[in-house]
Amino acid sequence: MRKITYAEAIREAMTQEIKANEDVYILGEDIGIYGGAFGLTNGMEEELGRENVMSTPISESAISGVAVGSALTGMRPILELQFSDFITIAMDNIVNQAAKLRYMNGGKGSIPIVVRTPGGSGAGFAAQHSQSLEAWTAHIPGLKVVQPSTPYDAKGLFKAALDDNNPVIFYEHKLLYGLKGEVPEETYSIPLGKADVKREGTDVTVVATSIMVHRALQAAEELEKQGISVEVIDPRTLVPLDIDTIVESVKKTSRAVVVYEAVQRGGYGAEIASLINESEAFDYLDAPVVRLGGKAVPMPYNMNLEKQAVPQVEDIIIAVKSTIAPVTI
Amino acid sequence: METSYANVITDIGKEKLQDMLYQLMLIRTFEEAVERLFMQGKIHGTMHLCIGQEPTAVGAITTLTNEDKITSTHRGHGHCIAKGTDVPKMMAELLGKATGHCKGKGGSMHIADLDKGNLGANGIVAGGLPIACGAALTSVKKNLGYVVVSFFGDGATNEGSFHEALNIASIWKLPVIFFCENNHYGMSGNIKQMTNIENLADRAVAYGIPGEVVDGTDVLKVYEVTKKAVERAKRGEGPTLIEAKTYRWRGHSKSDARKYRTREEEQDWIQNKDGIKKFKEKLLNAHVLTEAEIEELEAQVKKEVEEAVAFAENSPEPSLDTLEEDVFA
């Protein structure tokens, strides 16, 4: 099968969906001739027209509301927020409008929106362009939250997100945009709420999200050399969360590490760890579930410091080993 | 009587004028009942009454068809009634009952009626403006020909969303009417302390759109100015900012002791600028309606509200197992 990048997979998904359904369009800042801050929409305006690829003023507050209003009246907008950090400016429309209009209205109306936005660190963008804010949105009833880690997942999850009749926050990772992988040309859908076992193993379960999936896989390879068999599970969607796949794995391995880039404190890893503890897997656990998230610091500019702020392969190795024999992390 | 009135009255015709008076009285009587029920402890939370502001809702919405849409505010009972929402269901919603318009989950601040083109009241100041732009965008994209009237208060004009929405609507020539009900107070904030301009409609200049100031206690003047803006929007010429000067007779909400304004000021508006009283006099002077006809309308309004209260009071509480329904579509 042909290999394309994560960015190309998302662009292809968007293009195919806009062509297939006249209710679908994309709006966002600089997405026209410029192609978006990360080139995700390169060539789309030319191919699909300005009416489908709508470059907006730098007005996150308004464009997120425009997406809500147009979704409520029958469209299926894709909203590109240039960096996930800017979701803070769009938050009112996402949290106070999109997430709850249906519930407040007694079940009438729906808000089918996909908010696509790149998050994560590792590119030296410093504190206002490097955050992982998925826990914010996962906390809000009425929102679905997706974090694809591979080109294949990105394309299939995007279609599922767009076909969903609810607001979906689709967190991309800016370091993954160049990652290549096998992706079918035709459209396909990966259901929201279905985790993927990225690597099978028997000793420890590592639940990792977004870019941490790749670091966990590298750690697993290294650990295998040391005689430790690691199973790597990518939930792919935080809401809905496929806790069953995670629980089944932990019952098999009896140990679990949850790895994520976002600040560990108050992060979504705590939710996953807690769900494991509250599940039938608890009786199988041979060690406490370990969380490994980012340090509670604004992302520093210096790239050595930046690296230090979020889990790296070696940190995952230490965390996995700590579930087998006590190690100071 | 002013000449222009003779024309407007002739244009509108007896039936519609009678309906406008009916709506005005229905809103006030409805809210007086709401106030009574609140004092009796039958309505909880808070409530925001638009008593004194009825002519803005009725004057503006009378210009609309069922297909045209509105977005409303936390002070939205008047807009809701004028746009045709079922009054008993509204009352039941305010009492949190299962028969309520939103199954008891929305309350006063969250009534939307998509079938009637009401995209929703909103608990967020200026929350409706970008949503209105989105709905207007749908109208353009799907060539549906409807317009959206977005109601908001003077306080909303100091929110970023106001400025962003006006700008977007202006550059995209969206069929939106931005309707500011300037009741002179954003909660306790006197408009003179919160802005440094005489007329809020002057802000239209910054966005290259028309700005109109109108006496918001005069339902026919509101009708006239809105009609012009609706026609302009339907011709594809873009948005208009209308500022209607009005006054809420009651406090911001029921917790408000109104320490920020004088009783003399309140009495001046109540005694001398009551839009309903003025409209009745106009209709009598123009021989559109007789005293007897007006009395009959009043009796009908009273009966309708009494029936709504009875319906609401006799309705069941929502079943507790509906709690988690309607979060997702």
- C-alpha distances in angstroms, A30 versus A40, A41, A121, B192, B212? 11, 9, 22, 38, 33
Cβ pair B71, B131 in contact under 8 A? yes
The mean predicted confidence, pLDDT, of chain A is 97
Check if B314 contacts A (Cβ < 8 Å). Answer: no
B164 vs A59: CB contact, 8 Å cut-off? Answer: yes
B127 vs A70: CB contact, 8 Å cut-off? Answer: no
- C-alpha distances in angstroms, A58 versus A31, A64, A81? 11, 11, 10
What does the block give as tokens for A119? 């998050």
Average pLDDT over residues B144-148: 98
pLDDT of res. B255: 84
- C-alpha distances in angstroms, B85 versus A37, A57, B73, B101, B113? 45, 35, 15, 9, 7
Confidence of residue B7 (pLDDT cuts 50, 70, 90): confident
pLDDT of res. A327: 52
pLDDT of res. B6: 75
Whether residue A328 is predicted with pLDDT greater than 60 in this model: the reply is no
Check if A21 contacts B (Cβ < 8 Å). Answer: no
Least Cα separation, residue A252 to chain B (angstroms): 33
Average pLDDT over residues A201-227: 98
- Measured distance CA(B64)–CA(B67) in Å, rounded: 8
Q: Each residue of B210-241: pLDDT tens digit?
A: 999 999 999 999 999 999 999 999 999 999 99
Count of residues in chain A: 329
Check if A72 contacts B (Cβ < 8 Å). Answer: yes
B102 vs A104: CB contact, 8 Å cut-off? Answer: yes
**Chain A residues whose beta carbon lies within 8 Å of the beta carbon of residue B110:** 104-105
ipTM above 0.85, yes or no: yes
Average pLDDT over residues B158-186: 98
Nearest C-alpha in B relative to A168 = B328
Average pLDDT over residues B44-62: 96
Q: For B110-169, where are the E strands, in sequence order?
A: 148-153
Q: Tokens 């193993």 — which residue?
A: A201
**Chain B residues whose beta carbon lies within 8 Å of the beta carbon of residue A101:** 112, 120
In chain A, which among 209-248 make CB contacts under 8 A with chain B? none
Average pLDDT over residues A273-290: 97
**Chain A residues whose beta carbon lies within 8 Å of the beta carbon of residue B161:** 61-62, 65, 92
Q: In a 10 Å sphere around its CB, with 0-12 CB exposed, 13-18 middle and 19+ buried, how is residue A315 labelled?
A: middle
Confidence of residue B10 (pLDDT cuts 50, 70, 90): confident
Q: Tokens 């907006």 — which residue?
A: A56
**Catalytic residue from among A129, A139, A173, A214:** A129
- Measured distance CA(A169)–CA(A57) in Å, rounded: 21
Confidence of residue B4 (pLDDT cuts 50, 70, 90): low
Check if A65 contacts B (Cβ < 8 Å). Answer: yes
Q: Each residue of A157-185: pLDDT tens digit?
A: 999 999 999 999 999 999 999 999 999 99
Whether residue B157 is predicted with pLDDT greater than 70 in this model: the reply is yes
Whether residue B2 is predicted with pLDDT greater than 90 in this model: the reply is no
| CA-closest candidate to residue B297, choices B314, B279, B272 | B279
**Chain B residues whose beta carbon lies within 8 Å of the beta carbon of residue A75:** 134, 137-138, 141-142
Whether residue A229 is predicted with pLDDT greater than 90 in this model: the reply is yes
pLDDT of res. A31: 98
Kindly state the percentage of chain A with pLDDT values over 70: 99
Contacts of A13 (CB under 8 A, 6+ apart): A154, A155, A158, A159, A162, A187
Q: Each residue of A63-122: pLDDT tens digit?
A: 999 999 999 999 999 999 999 999 999 999 999 999 999 999 999 999 999 999 999 999
Average pLDDT over residues B198-215: 98
Residue of B112, B123, B129 lying closest to A109 (CB–CB): B112
Q: Does residue A133 or residue B46 have the better pLDDT?
A: A133
The mean predicted confidence, pLDDT, of chain B is 96
Average pLDDT over residues A55-62: 97
Q: For chain B, where are the E strands, in sequence order?
A: 69-71, 148-153, 176-182, 185-186, 189-190, 211-215, 240-245
pLDDT of res. B173: 98
What does the block give as tokens for B90? 């509204």
pLDDT of res. A180: 98
A70 vs B327: CB contact, 8 Å cut-off? Answer: no
Whether residue B201 is predicted with pLDDT greater than 90 in this model: the reply is yes
Chain A to chain B, count of Cβ pairs less than 8 Å apart? 143
Question: For an interface test with B, which of A21, A27, A93, A103 has the most B Cβ atoms less than 10 Å from its Cβ?
Answer: A103
pLDDT of res. B122: 94
Q: Does residue B9 or residue B314 have the better pLDDT?
A: B314
- Residue A173 annotated to the active site: no
Check if B204 contacts A (Cβ < 8 Å). Answer: no
In chain A, which among 264-283 make CB contacts under 8 A with chain B? none
pLDDT of res. B9: 84
Average pLDDT over residues A283-290: 97
| CA-closest candidate to residue A258, choices A225, A279, A288, A224 | A288
| CA-closest candidate to residue B281, choices B16, B272, B31 | B272
The per-residue DSSP string of B316-327 comes to: PPPPGGGTTTTS
Average pLDDT over residues A135-150: 98
- Measured distance CA(B325)–CA(B316) in Å, rounded: 17
Q: Tokens 């069953």 — which residue?
A: A244
Check if B168 contacts A (Cβ < 8 Å). Answer: yes
Confidence of residue A30 (pLDDT cuts 50, 70, 90): very high
Check if B121 contacts A (Cβ < 8 Å). Answer: no
Whether residue B1 is predicted with pLDDT greater than 60 in this model: the reply is no
Cβ pair B136, B174 in contact under 8 A? yes
Whether residue B3 is predicted with pLDDT greater than 90 in this model: the reply is no
B124 vs A109: CB contact, 8 Å cut-off? Answer: no
Residue of B130, B160, B329 lying closest to A66 (CB–CB): B130
**Chain A residues whose beta carbon lies within 8 Å of the beta carbon of residue B325:** 107
Nearest C-alpha in B relative to A105 = B102
Residue of A64, A70, A92 lying closest to B137 (CB–CB): A70
- Measured distance CA(B33)–CA(B87) in Å, rounded: 12
B141 vs A67: CB contact, 8 Å cut-off? Answer: no
B141 vs A93: CB contact, 8 Å cut-off? Answer: no
Check if A104 contacts B (Cβ < 8 Å). Answer: yes
Least Cα separation, residue B193 to chain A (angstroms): 25
B114 vs A63: CB contact, 8 Å cut-off? Answer: no
A66 vs B127: CB contact, 8 Å cut-off? Answer: no
pLDDT of res. A329: 52
Question: For an interface test with A, which of B86, B129, B141, B174 has the most A Cβ atoms less than 10 Å from its Cβ?
Answer: B141
Kindly state the percentage of chain A with pLDDT values over 90: 98
Least Cα separation, residue A136 to chain B (angstroms): 17
What does the block give as tokens for B201? 């409609």
Cβ pair B281, B85 in contact under 8 A? no
Whether residue B21 is predicted with pLDDT greater than 80 in this model: the reply is yes
Confidence of residue B153 (pLDDT cuts 50, 70, 90): very high
pLDDT of res. B46: 87
Average pLDDT over residues B13-40: 97
A96 vs B136: CB contact, 8 Å cut-off? Answer: no
